[in-house]
Structure formats: structure tokens, C-alpha cells
Chain A
Amino acid sequence: MNIKERVRSLLKEAELYKDQRLLKEARKKYTDVIEILEQQSRIQNRDALIAAVEKKRDSLDTAIIKWDQSRVNPEVSGKVQNLIKRLFTASEEGISDEENGINEAITLAKFGQYRQALEEFSRLVHLPIVCASAAKNAIKCYLELSESDECIEAVKGWWQDCCFTPEQYASITHFMQSAFEKSGLDLGDAMAEPQVGFAGGEDFTAPIDDDIIDITSIGINFQSGPMEGQHVEIDVSFQSGSLLSLIVASSEKALLQLLLKGTAIHDVDFYSPIAIFKGAAVVESNTGILSGPKKGDFSLDIRINSI
């Protein structure tokens, strides 16, 4: 293929990729053309040709930047939001309308529809059966929308409107403290301290059943120590409520050293058949297996603390 044919073929390819909205692939072909032309000194109007192709490539660059910067989950129309709620909220028998309302609003938030979800959570905060769950989810939405000041005002307003019991308010402000910290924000003493004791430690955003869902495996994300930055997945061999039994091979010496009895695991992915849940756990036992096909390996029991 001579140069002219080669250039023509590459340009044709580039145009086709552009039509297919394969922008990066099209850009690559234009770049190939420019490089070929730059090596040819005998082509008439070479500089004009290069300039023309560069112009096409620049226009692609603009489109690529625009695409890269476009929001992943922009707010969509109410019609689409209703469809999202209808199609992606798990139908559960025996739950109240209020709880279903929470589930629908959570679905919206999962699809990045924070403004509408916030509107729905703010309405649900006034219903006693779901007020605490609605408030916590609303706090998350406010933070996703970078509206921390509005969040503080809203929670204070709900408290003044007597939406919560003192225990619920304590739980919500504790959750808020943690959520603000995770977003790199300082809540300071913006929230009034309730006059009740609160054990703390609650860190979930969705209403969860009393029974812990089946967990098929867990993923531990090590944030410090010798395995810092590593993610280790382990299958669950047996589950009894929130107690999970795992088998770890004796060859995993570093892992076994980090999972000694009493160790708190702060960042765990719990894999279930329906979703992955983030949470924390504590190692309740770590014992060597003395007989059977897994002899020499280790049996670990870990207790789910939060999910």
C-alpha cells in the first residue's frame, strides 16, 4: 500500500470510529496519519494536510475531555426516577409503606439521585417508624451534595420538631460525626449533646433485618501494617447468625498473624448473594485444625460488628 492509500485508509477508519463514538480509537488513527505525513517531505500541501488532520484531532480532544468530565450520575427526570424506584427496589412482603418508602429512596440514592432521595428522606423523617433511618440516609445525601451546613441545620430542625427520641438523636449525631469525619469535615460542637447515654458504634445507612443475611465470602481491606493496601478474600465455610467461620491455609502466615483472637477488622466487604455490604468485624477465635483433610490449616471465627 502506498502512502496515499495508507493515509486514505487510516482516515476512513478514523471517521468510522468517530461515527461509532469510539473517540480515543479515532484519535489514535488521526495521530497515525499525522506521524506518516510528518515523515513525508515530497507530498504537496503536506503542512495544510497535517493542519487539517490536527484540527479534526483537536475537536476529538474537546469531545473526549467533555466526556471524561461529564457527571456519572446526573439528576434525571421524575419519570425516570419513578422507573428506577419501580424496577430496582426489591419488593418485600410484610414491610410497611414507610419502610418501602425508605427502600425506594435508598434506591434513588444508589443511582446518584441525591436531590430527590433527600427530598424523600426529609419527608420520611417525620414518620416515627423510620425517622432514624431516614435521617441517617439524609445526612449521607447532604454530604454527597456537599451541603454540610444545610445538613447541620436540617438535623437541628428535625430535633426541634421532636422527630426523634433522645436515644435516636444521640445515635444520629454519632452517625453524623462519623460521616463528617469520613468526608474530611469537622462537625465540631455544632450539634447539641443529648442528655442520654449512647454506646456508639452504629454505622449503617439502610434498615437491616434482625437476621444477618447469608454471607458467602468476605474481603478484608488492610489499611495499615505489613499487608497495608492489600485486599484478601476468604470464603465463609459456616455461618451462624453474625458469626462466620473461615478456613485459612497454614501457608498464609502473614494473614494469620494479623487475624489473632481479639483483633478488630475495620474494613470488611461482606459478599452476599444480593449485594456487598461494608462493615467491621472482630476475630473471636483462631485455632489450628488438628485432624481431617484441613489438618494444619486454621479455623477462624469472626463476629460481624456492623454491616
Chain B
Amino acid sequence: MGVAHLSQRGKFMAIFNIQKREIECKIVYYGPGRCGKTTNLEYVFKAFKRQVTGEMVSVDTEGDSTLFFDFLPMGLGKINGCDVRVQIFTVPGQQKYSSTRKLVLKGLDGVVFVADSLAVRREKNLISLKDLQQNLKEYGQSITRIPLVLQYNKRDLADEGVPIMSVEQMERDLNRQLKVTSFEASATKGTGVGKTLQECLKLTLISLHKELQWSK
């Protein structure tokens, strides 16, 4: 024995190896197609070399959209005497990949929802957030209880003269009920990417620590 899979209804799916004192948790980047989930991960891969423990794997199509998922393994070192490893995934955001998206979501411990700031993508953000809520529900999890962070990506496009939504509008659209921490970001430039991930990791680890009591 020694490996505990916390898979009770509505709880987490992190793997806790009691003997080795290792925890492996799963963070998923969710959001509409072309919102910048993969770009977030690419930046994390480049900027957090010290924490990255393996190659980033991307499976994409000819059109450069994520096909199945992107995957990036990270190690956070020892926290409260436990070695914490993190598997980061992105889901394919396009409508037609809904079944794959659901498969990738399974067993997650924390979510970063990446919203597209472009005004023309407003409806897609709403549909994707609803899709996340529904998929979590089908796995017995609740969007209001899962560690969740919102990221308003592509803020830099305001400088290009294209219509983007104000942060206030995005908060009203996406965060009025959730009331979770949100960050403005530009994944291509790296702005806000680290903060978003750090906050998600923090919330996830607090939540897991509460659940697993691993320092005891």
C-alpha cells in the first residue's frame, strides 16, 4: 500500500505516496479555442526552467490548434516535508473536441480558466465556462468549490486598436458569481502568466493540504 488515491465524490484526484512522501497533482488550463492556453504553457516552460522536470508535449493540428492536450511536468520541491509534483495540461478548446476535453479534465485538482479579452470572443468565453461547469458536474465536482483562477488574456491587443472587453465587463460576465481571483495577462509577452499559475498552485496546494493533512 502506501499510495492513496483520493477519489471520493467531489474530492480531489491527487496521488499521495505516503511512504515516499510525494504528492502529484493535476492543473488544467481551460478556455475557448485560440484563447492562449498553449501560449501560457509555452511561457511557463521557458520561464520556469528550474521547476520544469521534463519536456513540454504538444499535440496540435495543421492549423496549430491543440488536438488532444499539451502536457508539462513540474516539480515544486519539498513543501511541508512532502515532494510536490505537478502535471499541467491544457484542453483542446474548439467545440468539436468536447469529448477529448472531458477526458483531459478527469481527475483535476485545480483549474486556470483562460478567457479571451477580444470583444468578438465574448460569447465563446461564456460557453466555455459553462462547459467547464457542466463537465466538472459530470465528474461530481463543483466549479464553486474547485481551486479556480481566471485569466483575462490578450490584454496587449488593446494597443493594436482592436476592440477588447474591459476588465470590469469580463468580471461581470465571468466572475460575478464565482468571485475568484482573476489576472490580466498577455501570454505572448508573459505578462501575468506566472502570477496566474502561482495563484492556482497556491489554492490547489492549500486545498490538498486541507484534504490530505500531509504535514502530520
Contacts and interface: CB of A to CB of B under 8 A. Distances in A.
Given A9-B161, A216-B9, A72 B59 contact: no
Interface string B88-131: 00000000110110011011000000000010110000000000
Given A88-B106, A216-B140, A16 B59 contact: no
A74 B97 CA distance: 12
Interface of B: 1, 3, 5, 7-10, 15, 34, 57, 59, 61-65, 67-68, 71, 87, 96-97, 99-100, 103-104, 106-107, 118, 120-121, 138-141, 157, 160-163
A199 to B, nearest CB: 32
Contact of B62 (A70, A80, A84): A70
A216 B9 CA distance: 8
Contact of A111 (B68, B71, B161): B68
A74 B8 CA distance: 34
B106 A275 contact: yes
Interface in A57-72: 63, 66-67, 70, 72
A6 interface: no
A271 B137 CA distance: 9
A273 B162 contact: no
Contacts, number: 87
Interface residues of A, number: 37
Given A273-B9, A275-B106, A72 B140 contact: no
Interface in A221-276: 271-276
Given A80-B59, A87-B87, A22 B157 contact: no
Interface in A61-108: 63, 66-67, 70, 72-74, 76, 80, 83-84, 87-88, 90-91, 93
B14 to A, nearest CB: 13
